[in-house]
Amino acid sequence: MLYFKKSEVAEAYHISEKTVTNWIREAKDGKLDLELHEEHGRAWIVNTTRNIEHIEQLVEKRKKFRNSRGIKTIQPKPEFYELYNQQQIFDLTSSLDIYHEVAPDYTYFDGGAEYWDKYAQRLAFEKLPNLLTCTIKQLRANQGYIDDLTSQYQRINVVDIGPGNGLPVKEFLEHLLDQGKLGRYIALDISPSILRIVERNIKEWFGPKVPFESHQIDIKHDRFAHLLTEGVLEGKADSIVNLVVSFGAGFSNFHSPDDAFKTVRSSLNRQDLFVHNLKLDSKTSRQYFDLGLRTKSTMFDVHERMMVDLLNIDESLYDVEAGYDDQLRQRYIRIRFKVALEITFSLEKGDRVVRFNKNDTLLVWRYWHQTAREVIDQLERNNFDVLQTSQTEDKDYLLTVSRVKCD
């Protein structure tokens, strides 16, 4: 007969072995309706659908009971409401409630943007290869190919999705200026603070030579086709091409990266190019954690910690865990709650309460690991034609050049 070890039940339902021992004792006393297997004075819970259902009910009951007693209630800090609008707060709370995740998008606001600026400046001077220096190197290596693809157009607009501080495209813009081909530079980002930083840098580096334009959008669902219409107007379509770039692997942090690929795909004109790069899966990348500018809490850097702090979740309420999840194929940083927690958000239409049980986790950062083949498959299933792929010599970084699949 198949039966469960106490440790298996404890691990599967985040409860202690002592609780399982108590259930077995109560079942023996006829107080609980669990079927047991008994041998030599010992007893185990039998592995049946009925027992599993019953265990799940007991776990639920236990959670409710514990929550009503030991629950810790908190509210986000006032700064949280100053930083995000109602729609963003609703989006954030949904991600917390449904996925137990901090939506990564919102960590580039305010101090998060300044953090990214400093971090990217540090990467620029690092001796070992990193995502920024490899992006610049790969763009340089693909310059000839991109020039060739765009040679018939008089003007190239660069549309930078999630530009950070602009460093990845700086050299590329210089190249287009030298060729006399640069049209508009359009920065698209969810964070107004990032847009201010990239505007400051572009103006400082190029002055009026680069016409700067910025739009606050969420790339997961805000199409930007209306910004690229001059590329389809009669008499202009043959002279203008948009080069849409997404560097720094931002999509790999999203819950569902395909959402962003679909938005890009549905915004491009047929002649436009989409250039995208990221760090690939490898044994070393699975162990890689660049913790940037550290804070007191060992595993956390300022960036990942920002939202946890804004939500007013005190350090004493959680442990930090970081690692690589073999099954989901993602690197993660998450917090595990030491207590049951209730966060009340005040929205214009009323309060929204998000609840966590003791031992629940909240994901604060993730990176989906993909092979080069999987990235190409992802682009293809989102209706891109992949024209060119190139990897760095160590095969750690991939850059792709694609167009929308047309009939």
Q: Which residues would be at the binding site for ligand SAM (CB under 6 A)?
A: 105, 108, 120, 132, 135, 162-164, 168, 189-191, 194, 217-220, 247-248, 250
In one letter, which amino acid is 343?
Answer: I
Per the CB < 8 A criterion, the answer to whether 321 and 336 are in contact is yes
In the complex, minimum distance from the CB of residue 161 to ligand SAM, in angstroms, rounded to a whole number: 6
Write the DSSP assignment of 79-91 as a string of letters. HHHHHS-HHHHHH
Please name the residues in contact with 85: beta carbons below 8 A apart, sequence gap of 6 or more.
none
Choice between 184 and 220, CB closer to ligand SAM: 220
In the complex, minimum distance from the CB of residue 267 to ligand SAM, in angstroms, rounded to a whole number: 13
Q: Rounded CA gap, 387 and 321, in Å?
A: 40
Shortest distance, position 134 Cβ to ligand SAM, whole Å: 10
In angstroms, what is the minimal distance from the CB of 195 to ligand SAM? 9
Instruction: State the virtual CA torsion across 302, 263, 163, 118 in degrees, nearest 10.
Output: 10
Q: Which is nearer to ligand SAM, 131 or 313 (CB)?
A: 131
Report the 10 Å Cβ neighbour count for 143.
14
Residues 6+ apart with CB under 8 A from 141: 390
Q: Rounded to the nearest whole angstrom, what is the least distance from the CB of residue 115 to ligand SAM in the complex?
A: 11
Instruction: Please choose, from the candidates 154, 163, 153, 218, the residue with its C-alpha nearest in 3D space to the C-alpha of residue 185.
Output: 163
The residues, ordered by sequence, that sit 6+ positions from 368 with a Cβ below 8 Å of its Cβ are 252, 257, 329, 330
What does the alpha-carbon distance between residue 197 and residue 171 come to, in Å, rounded to a whole number? 17
Question: Which CB sits closer to ligand SAM, 27 or 275?
Answer: 275
Residue 328: exposed, middle, or buried by beta-carbon count in 10 A (0-12, 13-18, 19+)?
exposed
Task: Tell me which residue of 229, 249, 261 sits closest to 368, measured CA to CA.
Answer: 249
Query: Residue 294 Cβ, how far from ligand SAM at the closest point, in Å?
Result: 18
Looking at the Cβ atoms of 343 and 399, the one nearer to ligand SAM is 399
Nearer to ligand SAM, 189 or 301 (CB): 189
Cα–Cα distance, 242 to 146 (Å, whole number): 12
- Shortest Å, Cβ 168 to ligand SAM: 4
Q: What is the rounded CA–CA span in Å between residue 165 and residue 198?
A: 5
Q: Name the helix (H) or strand (E) containing 161.
A: strand 155-161
**Closer residue to ligand SAM in complex, CB, 199/218:** 218
Inter-residue contact 204 to 196 (CB < 8 Å): no
Between 43 and 217, CB nearer to ligand SAM? 217
Question: How far is the C-alpha of 403 from the C-alpha of 149, rounded, in Å?
Answer: 11
The residue type found at 242 is N
Single out the residue of 303, 252, 248, 300 nearest to residue 110, CA to CA.
303
Q: What is the SS3 assignment for 78? A: helix
Q: Write down the least CB distance from residue 399 to ligand SAM, Å.
A: 12
Q: Which is nearer to ligand SAM, 163 or 183 (CB)?
A: 163
Shortest distance in whole angstroms from residue 217 CB to ligand SAM: 6
Residue labelled with tokens 């890009």: 264
Report in angstroms how near the CB of residue 265 gets to ligand SAM at its nearest: 15
Q: 162 or 231: whose CB is closer to ligand SAM?
A: 162
| Nearer Cβ to ligand SAM (75/390) | 390
